[in-house]
Structure 1
């Protein structure tokens, strides 16, 4: 029994081999719905156990249903990155090895000839990235007419990466009588609702801990920095003084990955890097080195924010702050997993302050302020807007223009010329004094404050 469900004995054996005896919240909620044939839309945070939440019911139903003669692929899992695809494939293969089910993997970086051979064997389950699957569909090597299950894992990330058109093409080739699961970290993504309406039929919606919920096991800190040279010194200090098994350093540009890799190698051993321009063999070598402990510090772009399956990753450093709240969540989600504690530190320069503030508003929580006394910089945060009493109390009179000045001078000359006439006419009759001043309802001139901006994605 698992989650009060009588799974196939071989699947239960797989759970025992993974030392899994209790379902997570998302698994407990999703398993009965999936087994009942429902389409399901899931919003759950990184590390919540979503992979088994869809693999277990799919495998259970495939084992209990007889396949049609010469049936092609029966279940498809689409994920945004190669790393996540390999992680899901590894988990699926552990269970498939105990059954008669076969699993295939399709990602960029591998030869089409090899992948076409995999598809000719008609594996029941395929794990794939969208772009590579579309390539196979166009070549005629992938057939989805017999598809019984379609899983869109991390659908929000696929939309962010520009895979919406590929996702639609895949769905257009898939069997319409399929069961569909869509999983993401947020339901607030602007495209999620549209995709769900187009691809799911009367879905059951599951929401566990969202990205706005506090990460219970992750301590989030921020350190102010003057510039990249200051960040370099802070980074060296943190790697030398923090306690960690493995650490990951996130930057936004590939060229910065390479620069930091060369810089840190002059200070420490065990440095590795990961970015989108690397070949699949290079990526695999880096991941294997981390898992085996040959390397313990990884410098990476957001390609490693999702699907990075390495135990002991207990320190995350945002050298560059993530451009969006969702990406920040997935970055720090590399630590604090499975009930273990983790530390996430963001180095914040002046141009990143507004972005930091927008991420805090998105998460509805603040990063803890931290200083390293021996490396304290000049940047202390944005200056607060202060309105002086003089500025707030009265409006400045507008300066006289040239015409007004000329008129005033002309009037002065005329007054001098006709002064004798004024004496003959006598004093000018008095006018009532103006006892009031034009002000707003509060008695002050309005103060316009600029709204804090936010970096665009």
Structure 2
């Protein structure tokens, strides 16, 4: 129960107004450690409630230790405008019974207006590294009074090339601050460098990592022949699956725009979201999806991280994601806390090996599904069979063993067969060849 945590009564009142009574596992683990003043490195899967896990301790400290003469006292860094805006919304929900002020600093908004807001010394700044660096170079930032720095979706920020920006911003912060780092994946060498440079003797918490399967999400794949076949199967899914809202993911902006045009001839109110869209258009699109004004959104991975959309029951990967981590970030848009979801991936022959490696990496049971109304030729790799030469070699081997046994002779090691029959790797829910498949089979 949140009431059992040592949080300020105004925060408990806000949580009660929002209908939150039970903390999620990441909140139950992180909040007491953060309240105790420790630096934290938290790895937890998307949709696990990480935002409240750092906001509640931050707000508790600001309420308990007011300082009206100080400048900005808390900074939250995020990789995208959408995530920053969503975090501001969560802050505003929790500070309703306090005098705490928060401001959003991201690209796509008036620079001078933002500078004027920062001169008013808001308690909390929420922003993206690129725009904050612009304000730093303009002389608008002063973090000498900062008491807490939060790096949220840190793995994504590093993937996007923000490592140097993050380190530079951390360098100008009060060295006595508390730092909390949250990510969905452990990260690689870049993450280790940031942790070493920014955190001090951090407590490490690993809870429901991105490799862990979402128990309430079903994972399916459908094999297809080509892009045209993908589009036919996609239209059938949109007509026959039951969902309130869905996101269709592509790997490129060009593919998202093209697919959006194709689907608009089939459905009304199909919207497209990617990084080249105007800031206001992106905001309006997400607001329409949240409000239920649109049901179908075609998007790149700009929508794959951290966005919390209620009623999102279906995710479709038109393109196989480039990595296992990106797969679960996409799938994690559905099946949010306490709700069921379905993630479907359309897999062509050239994408099979990538999908297979994602399945093994995440240890997911991804079931293969057939859409009988739109059958195709590719149905997964053809199992390799032993050649006649290998079969003949096996017969000779057996004959030698039999003759040796009859003669009472000492058994000698048999010669290695010229070709071994490879066993299919079924880990991950579907067969994967160890050698290059010979070609497609008829469905």
Answer whether TM exceeds 0.5 for this pair. Answer: yes
For the residue of structure 2 that corresponds to 1:239, the secondary structure is helix
The 5 Å alignment of 1:210-221 reads 210-221=209-220
Q: How far 1:96 moved relative to its partner?
A: 2.4
Q: Secondary structure at the match of 1:127?
A: strand
For residue 238 of structure 1, what is the aligned residue in structure 2?
237
- The aligned counterpart of 1:374 is 373
Name 1:433's counterpart in structure 2: none
TM-score normalised by L of structure 2: 0.88
Matched residue of 1:175: which SS? coil
Which deviates the most, 351-360 or 303-312?
303-312
Deviates more, 1:159-168 or 1:187-196: 187-196
Show the counterpart of 1:134.
133
SS of 1:51's partner is helix
- Written as runs of structure 1 = structure 2, the 5 A alignment for 1:335-354 is 335-354=334-353
- The answer to whether the 8 A contact 1:78-1:130 is kept is yes
Kept in 1: contact 2:385–2:421 (CA 8 A): no
Change (3 A) 1:181 1:119: same
8 Å Cα contact 2:151/2:180 also seen in 1: yes
The match for 1:273 is 272
Q: Residue 384 of structure 1: CA displacement? A: 2.6
* Residues 58-457 of structure 1: pairs in structure 2 closer than 5 A: 58-67=58-67, 69=69, 71-391=70-390, 442-445=415-418
Q: Deviations over 1:31-83 (max 9, x none)?
A: 111011000110101111110000000110111113273x2211011011111
Once the 2 structures are TM-superposed, how far is the Cα of residue 446 of structure 1 from its aligned partner?
A: 6.2
CA offset at residue 354 of structure 1? Answer: 0.9
Return closer, same or farther for 1:377/1:296 CA change in 2, 3 Å cut-off: same
SS of equivalent residue, structure 2 residue 282: helix
- Mapped to 2, the partners of 1:347 and 1:93 lie a distance apart of 39
Give, in angstroms, the shift of residue 12 of structure 1.
1.3
Residue 224 of structure 1: how far off its partner (Å) = 0.2
Query: In structure 2, do the counterparts of structure 1 residues 448 and 174 end up closer, same or farther at CA, with 3 Å as the change threshold?
Result: farther
Asked if 1:36 is matched to 2:9, the reply is no
Q: What displacement does 1:265 show? A: 1.0
Secondary structure of 2:418 counterpart: coil
Deviation at residue 392 of structure 1 after TM alignment: 6.9
Cα distance, 1:233 vs. partner?
0.2
RMSD: 2.0
Q: Which residue of 2 aligns with 1:436?
A: none
Give the secondary structure class of the aligned counterpart of 2:125.
Answer: strand
Cα drift, residue 389 of structure 1: 4.0
Secondary structure of 2:157's aligned partner: helix
2:441 aligns with: none
Residue 51 of structure 2 is matched in structure 1 by: 51
User: Do the aligned partners of 1:155 and 1:183 also contact (CA within 8 Å) in 2?
Assistant: yes
1:452 Cα deviation (Å)? 6.2
TM-fit CA distance, 1:247: 0.6
Question: Quick check: 1:16 aligned with 2:28?
Answer: no
In the superposition, the TM-score normalised over structure 1's length comes to 0.86
Q: Distance between the aligned counterparts of 2:417 and 2:304, measured in 1? A: 51
**Residue aligned with 2:30, SS:** helix
Structure 1 distance, partners of 2:368, 2:145, is 55
The structural deviation recorded for 1:146 is 1.4
Native 8 Å contact 1:440 1:446 kept in 2: no
SS state of the match for residue 355, structure 2?
helix
Distance apart, 1:24 and its partner CA: 0.6
Give the distance between the partners of 2:178 and 2:414, measured in 1 at CA: 62
| Whole-angstrom CA distance in 1 between matches of 2:33 and 2:435 | 44
Return 140-149 or 343-352, whichever deviates more: 140-149
SS in structure 1 at match of 2:174 = coil
How far is the alpha carbon of 1:307 from its aligned partner? 3.1
Deviations 1:305-324 (A, max 9, x none): 01323210000000001101
Contact 2:3 2:12 in 1 (8 A): no
Per-residue deviation at 1:112? Answer: 0.5
Kept after mapping to 2: 8 A contact 1:354/1:452: no
- Aligned-residue offset at 1:125: 0.6
Residues 239-273 of structure 1 deviation map (CA, whole Å, 9 limit, x = unaligned): 00000000110001111111111111111113111
Cα distance in 2 for residues equivalent to 1:110 and 1:47: 28
Moved over 4 A (4+): 391-394, 446-453
